[in-house]
Amino acid sequence: MRLRIASWNVNSVRLRIDQVARFAAERSPDVLCLQEIKCQDGEFPAEALVEAGFPHVKIRGQKGWHGVAIASRLPIEAAPPLDLCREGHARCVSGVVAGIELHNLYIPAGGDVPDRASRKFDHKLDFYERLTAEMARRRPNAPLVLAGDLNVAPGEHDVWNHRFMSKVVSHTPVEVAAMEALQNSLGFIDLVREAAPEPAKLFSWWSYRAADFRASNRGLRLDHIWITPGLRAAAARSGASPRIHDDVRAWERPSDHAPVTIDLEV
């Protein structure tokens, strides 16, 4: 069975439910990991997701900001919850779909000052440290997926200008090191980057400030789907290429993030 997992920071699910439905119809994901839904649980447009073919939904909402949800064509079973956010924000929702443990994350952006003296930046690194410690307790051959807006563009070719961005929150050396520690904790595989090796530029986010995001192309790859080594064979069997759907960023009233998908044959 093919399992297509999509991750998308929708920047308000109620505002962009039509785009979510269109993406579901055109790209046929089986699981949608949504971040920054910006609504409480009871405000989530679950009926629209059912109409789009996703009868199973797990929501962790929050008033005004943050919030994450998993919508699935297949049943979502319970997964061990992760206690990652010291501020109590709704930034992680977990479930098991088709035997795969799935964690959907919206990691803090970190503010504007890349210094642990800044509460926001320290919060981001603390979140990474907690998540890394949690993953280090798992088995590398376990079928596990991390997906979401991880708010770090790790590589030189994951940002529009490496030298400039190395001093800007999202691509500073300390953040890249924190992401590398997380990736190494369980040997996570970045399928999207494997499919388009460096020096290919890969972005999943473009600021709303640009009148034409493609013309300026000042993007960052902040959105990721990683798999454990235990799912390597399932990814290879699928025969499909992981991808960033950057064309969705050009749709009417878009999110500033584009969806990312991977396929597994399970």
Instruction: Please say if the pLDDT value at position 79 is more than 90.
Output: yes
For residue range 81-135, list pLDDT tens digits in order.
899 999 999 999 999 999 999 999 999 999 999 999 999 999 999 999 999 999 9
Query: In which domain, by residue range, is 202 found?
Result: 2-265
pTM over 0.85: yes
pLDDT score of 146: 98
Q: With H, G, I as helix, E, B as strand and everything else as coil, classify residue 71.
A: strand
Per the CB < 8 A criterion, the answer to whether 259 and 27 are in contact is: yes
Specify the number of domains making up the chain: 1
Q: Of 66, 58, 70, 77, nearest to 39 (Cα)?
A: 66
Is the pLDDT at 241 greater than 90? The verdict is: yes
The pLDDT assigned to 64 comes to: 85
Nearest CA to 35 among 2, 71, 1, 4? 71
Question: Residue 171: helix, strand or coil by DSSP?
Answer: coil
**What is the reported pLDDT for 1?**
95
Amino acid (one-letter) located at 259 = P
Share of the chain above pLDDT 90, in %: 98
Residue 210, Cβ neighbours under 10 Å: how many?
14
- Output the domain CATH number for residue 79: 3.60.10.10
What pLDDT, in 10s, does the model give residues 142-168?
999 999 999 999 999 999 999 999 999
Give me the pLDDT at residue 36, please.
98
